[in-house]
A = this chain, B = another copy of it.
Amino acid sequence: MTQVKNTFQFEDMLKKHHLKKTAPRLRVLSMMYSKTTATSQPDLENVMHDIDRVTLYRILNIFEEKGIIHKVFDLNGTANYAVCSSGCQENHHHDEHLHFNCTRCKNVYCINDLYLPGLTLPEGFKAESFTLYANGICPKCEKKPHH
């Protein structure tokens, strides 16, 4: 599930996308790759107090542009970011997977290994990508007793 990576691999990722290797970027990468759920900007801010909010904002944007991460929205409409599976390219995400919004803990899970059946759209609509959200209770919350 989580793709374990070390600092050298993160440096390679940045180099591959012609991005400079900076401390904030490496820290964002290592945090995002260590999590099984998507990360919101507030999440990052809470962990990395010393990095400017705007810097985080820009890092997330450029990572998304480059296809390193992709954006999903939780139930409140706030942006969350998750590392892309291998199929992503610059400006063209292969995020045809399921996003699971847990209504209890509000975490967003990316569920990559799920077959998304083909769909036929009405006449005239040309779909380039699909995003599927499921809302419910995640395994962790299911185990925990209700507050």
Contact = CB atoms under 8 A, between A and B. Distances in A.
A23 interface: no
B132 A126 contact: no
Interface residues of A, number: 36
Interface string A40-55: 0000000000000000
B114 A122 contact: yes
A34 interface: no
Contacts of A117: 117, 119
Contacts of A120: 114
A13 interface: no
Given A73-B73, A100-B121, A119-B98, A127 B136 contact: yes
Contacts of A129: 134-136
Interface of A: 71, 73, 77-79, 98, 100, 103, 109, 111, 113-114, 116-117, 119-139, 142
